[in-house]
Amino acid sequence: MKNIKYIIFLLFLSLAFYIKCNDVIKYISPTYDEPLHLMQGYTYLKTGTMQIVSPFDQPMLAKIIPAISLLFLKPQPLVFTTHNYYYNRQRYSFANLMLYYNNNDAEKMLNLGRRINIIVSIIFLWIFFYITNKTFGEQNAVFVSLLYIFNTTITAHSCLVTQDLLCYMFYFLGIFSFYQFLQHKNIKSNFVCGLMTGLLMVSKYTVVVLLFTYFCILLYFLYVRKINIKNFIQFFILQILCILIIGLIVYRQHIGLLFNGLYKVIENLQQGRSTFFFGKHSTTGFRLYFIVLFFLKTEIPVLIIFVVALIKFFIKIFKKEYSELDLVFIPAVIIFLVIASFSKTQIGHRHILPIYPILIFYSSTLATDKKFSLAYYFLVLLCILSSIKTHPYYLSYFNEFIGGNKNGWKYFTDSNIDWGQGLKQLSLWIKKNKDVDDRGIYLSYFGVADPHYYGIKYRPVGIISNLTQQERAGDDIIKNNLKRIVVAVSVTNLQSTYYKDKTIFNFLKEIVPVYRAADSIFVYDITENKKVLQKFVDLLNSLGYDEDVEYINKIFFSRQVSG
């Protein structure tokens, strides 16, 4: 009877989660890497080759699974595999060609892939419930499920065709199966752990952190004589064998690309990438970047739950009342955060997403803690309300410590808030403003979605994408006799994250946008602001838009303009 009750509960949660996520995808345009991942996965399924896969790409499993949905639509990859983009491995250009110049609608293809990932996330929900139920009990499992489906970050990345979903799934399952191995120390538990490690290896190269976590914890257990050197060596031998076997199953004759990719990605990570953090820029990272992100992009009620659970952990350590579970799950979180904090590539909260299922699972013990259980229930309820309030813009979520989503751009950029998802909402605003819709805007977009697909007429101003200028050439909008000068800027570009000139759009920060598209693209009508308009003209002049400069000077500076 109890089993039926919980099956009904999980079915209800699954349906609610699916409806919520399905609604989210209606609001967002493709994020930066989604077209690439989807089309790489589909091309591999249809051709069996990895010609369009670069050594710098993440592994293939997270690309193959959502691409299975395209087998029912039957887009035409073979037509495009004769294109120069394919042979020259111009991956983003090939993905753009496949998505927008195919025999199927672009959004239909992308959203089918997204729905597959939503279903995968729901499958993990059931596994998560089962594991928690077996470990802690039914009450804990119920609240773990609620925190899972209402977590803003988990929701955001369950709706996208990226590696982050499979990454946190297999990372958690790897840590849990490792904990099982430490309890049983047999071949079966070792093999299950190896299976999870192998699946993570073909999903994302975060597997390196997982293997290092195993190593650190096993060293401690070796030191306190809870395992012997034989267990230690056998564990890693089986892990390597499982990685090789699963790698061969997924990559087949291309197995070399998997390990070459691992080497190239690690090498590339050490070179760093441009990062924006609290008004500062760096290419070598900030030690507090991910710690601060954790505190600002986690719902405050959930933060309180996590902090209380951590305090209880350290009390157990101090009193020497800890269990094997304590010595696996919290050290796994600490090791992950330390490694992330010393990484030179810091571009998104999603990179620490694997710690969330671990913390949700571990902190669920508070649900049955007599001293804290009522507070725990109340905090879970507040988390649910926070999630409802955030809908549908989960990707750009920031908590009340900095005033919510509307202020996130002041402190972070890139996939933390702006990953290219706002183009669709921008197009809807433009359509409501007929004089803008008919004539066009100036657009500084961070992303790979096609503005023309959404009916946007635009002049590109410092667009950041991995596409050629010809592919995003835009329109000669001054021929439409502009009546308003409207500038739309992705906040990643507004903060000059990937520009050499870090002040290029500072003049726009002085004014309030007339619209914010999905919290990620700010729209400015600068027609009547002489000071700002002049600075924009100077920018156009530096970009070589001589005709635009001449037109604006003639039409907008020849009449009375307020400062």
Taking only the tens place, the pLDDT of each residue in 479-506 is 999 999 999 999 999 999 999 999 999 9
- Relative to beta strand 458-460, strand 441-444 is parallel
DSSP 323-388: -HHHHHHHHHHHHHHHHHHT-S----GGGGTTHHHHHHHHHGGGGG-TTTHHHHHHHHHHHHHHHH
Mean pLDDT of the residues in the chain: 95
Give pLDDT, residue 145. Answer: 98
First CA to last CA across the chain, in angstroms?
72
**1 pLDDT band (50/70/90 cuts)?**
low
**Cα 69 from Cα 168, distance rounded (Å):** 22
For the entire predicted model, the pTM comes to 0.96
Give pLDDT, residue 77. Answer: 60
Number of neighbouring beta carbons within 10 Å of residue 231: 17
Reported as a single tens digit per residue, the pLDDT across 459-476 is 999 999 999 999 999 999
Query: What is the DSSP code (8-state) at residue 166?
Result: H
Give pLDDT, residue 272. Answer: 84
Least confident of 73-87, 132-146, 243-257, 333-347: 73-87
Percent of the residues in the chain that have a pLDDT greater than 70, as a whole number: 98
186 burial via Cβ count (<10 Å: 0-12, 13-18, 19+): exposed
The 3-state DSSP class for residue 133 equals: helix
Reported as a single tens digit per residue, the pLDDT across 324-374 is 999 999 999 999 999 999 999 999 999 999 999 999 999 999 999 999 999
Name the CA dihedral angle for 453, 459, 464, 470, rounded to a multiple of 10 degrees: 70
C-alpha closest to that of 422 among 520, 314, 313, 307: 520
Give pLDDT, residue 270. Answer: 77
Tokens at residue 133, please?
A: 């139920």
Mean pLDDT of all residues in 182-198: 96
Give pLDDT, residue 298. Answer: 98
